[in-house]
């Protein structure tokens, strides 16, 4: 969880509550937060109470799903332009509409908070992936599917098939594919494991990034491999840290997918201007049937941060574009006719295009809903 507007002096962090009162924390402090409301864009309104009893109401960005009415414990873990707090646990449970518990169980939300703190941006993940290209050939050959670690499509030739393959090979769906193989396989082999699951555990090389990273982690612990890396001037420890960073990023998106009830993936593309990017695919039941939404957050040089949402519902499409920069919003508005033309040429019914500036586009915090389709 993060709170904006921070002044930092030594180990002391100060921010202003909505009432204008300053609140001061030290790294390591544990505070109570009462969740007052869930705000648009994945933000929450919380009342923070310090150990001294001082309290203030602030808007925060939470990577961990929270429910209105919950009280949680948070630990201050750092900050420069924002206070970063780590989820420790629930003191009092809230409830989602209908009385059902909201979000993930507490133990998973704590893990989600830890993983979100180590999430790599798209640019940093790409650097880590590219660094593995310089590993000795003997190391690469020891990892079945090594190519999946660095495989990222470019913008040229991008279409639905290429995008689907990128999502399926991103690592986010590894365990899902294993479960499907186990259910569809039927029967069991040696040790009570279905033949299909046994086959799925040994994927065709190059199929899944997470699987390849897990295999790389095992290989890096081999003494002979460590020797080969040393002779090449590479440290097995540093290579392992980079692999762990990529795995933590994938697992952060996997937990967020479970919490959001969709497929939430990092946008891994060979795109020089792309600083960071993420996509969320989800289905929702509405009055006239089901809607399907793709939400995308982008940080592009020089346009800045922006979010885009495309929803298909009742036989038509609804598009929402929300840049953080006013200059980018103006540019998008001047090209809105191009969006309409492309949908028309593709034979797709476009019912609405909304282009509005967004005060803040936050990564790692999916919006509660993509676009208002009740028009």
pLDDT of 325 above 80: yes
Measured in degrees and rounded to the nearest 5, phi and psi for residue 281 equal -110, 130
Q: What is the pLDDT of residues 267-317, one digit of tens each?
A: 888 888 999 999 988 888 877 788 899 999 999 999 999 999 999 988 899
Taking residues 25-36, report their average pLDDT.
81
159/347 Cα distance (integer angstroms):
16
Say whether 350 sits in a helix, a strand or coil: strand
Cis geometry, peptide bond prior to residue 140 (ω within 30 degrees of 0): no
pLDDT at 138: 86
pTM, 2 dp: 0.67
H-only helix segments in the chain: 106-117, 122-131, 137-141, 147-150, 160-168, 174-185, 195-200, 209-220, 223-231, 236-260, 326-334, 336-345
Low-confidence winner among 197-201, 210-214, 258-262 (lowest mean pLDDT): 197-201
Tell me the CATH number of domain 2-94, given options 2.30.29, 1.25.40, 2.60.450, 2.40.50: 2.40.50
Q: What is the pLDDT of residues 147-160, one digit of tens each?
A: 889 888 888 878 88
Burial of 77 (0-12, 13-18, 19+ CB in 10 A): middle
Measured in degrees and rounded to the nearest 5, phi and psi for residue 218 equal -65, -45
Taking residues 208-213, report their average pLDDT.
91
58/46 Cα distance (integer angstroms):
6
């Amino acid at each position: 969880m993060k709170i904006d507007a921070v002044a930092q002096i030594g180990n002391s962090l100060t921010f202003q509550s909505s009432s204008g009162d300053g609140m001061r924390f030290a790294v390591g402090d544990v505070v109570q937060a009462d969740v007052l409301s869930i705000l648009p864009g994945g933000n929450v309104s919380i009342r923070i109470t310090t150990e001294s009893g001082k309290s203030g109401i602030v808007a925060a960005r939470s990577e961990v799903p929270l429910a209105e009415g919950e009280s949680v414990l948070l630990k201050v873990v750092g900050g420069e332009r924002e206070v970063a707090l780590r989820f420790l646990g629930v003191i009092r449970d809230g409830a989602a509409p209908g009385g059902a518990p909201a979000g993930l169980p507490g133990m998973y939300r704590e893990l989600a908070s830890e993983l979100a703190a180590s999430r790599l941006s798209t640019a940093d993940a790409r650097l880590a992936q590219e660094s593995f290209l310089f590993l000795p050939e003997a190391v690469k050959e020891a990892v079945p599917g090594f190519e999946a670690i660095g495989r990222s499509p470019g913008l040229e030739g991008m279409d639905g098939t290429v995008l689907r393959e990128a999502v399926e090979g991103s690592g986010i769906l590894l365990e899902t594919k294993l479960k499907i193989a186990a259910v569809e396989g039927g029967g069991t082999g040696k040790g009570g494991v279905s033949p299909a699951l046994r086959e799925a555990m040994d994927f065709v090389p190059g199929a899944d990034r997470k699987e390849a990273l897990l295999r790389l982690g095992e290989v890096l612990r081999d003494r002979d491999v460590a020797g080969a890396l040393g002779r090449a001037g590479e440290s097995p420890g540093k290579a392992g840290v980079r692999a762990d960073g990529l795995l933590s990023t994938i697992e952060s998106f996997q937990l967020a997918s479970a919490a959001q009830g969709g497929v939430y993936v990092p946008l891994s593309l060979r795109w020089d201007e792309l600083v960071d990017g993420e996509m969320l695919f989800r289905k929702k039941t509405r009055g006239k049937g089901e809607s399907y939404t793709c939400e995308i957050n982008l940080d592009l040089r020089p346009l800045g941060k922006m979010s885009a949402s495309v929803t298909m519902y009742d036989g038509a499409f609804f598009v929402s574009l929300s840049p953080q920069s006013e200059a980018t919003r103006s540019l998008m508005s001047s090209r809105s006719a191009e969006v309409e033309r492309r949908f028309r040429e593709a034979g797709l019914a476009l019912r609405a295009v909304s282009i509005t500036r967004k005060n803040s586009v936050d990564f790692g915090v999916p919006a509660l809903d993509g676009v208002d389709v009740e028009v």
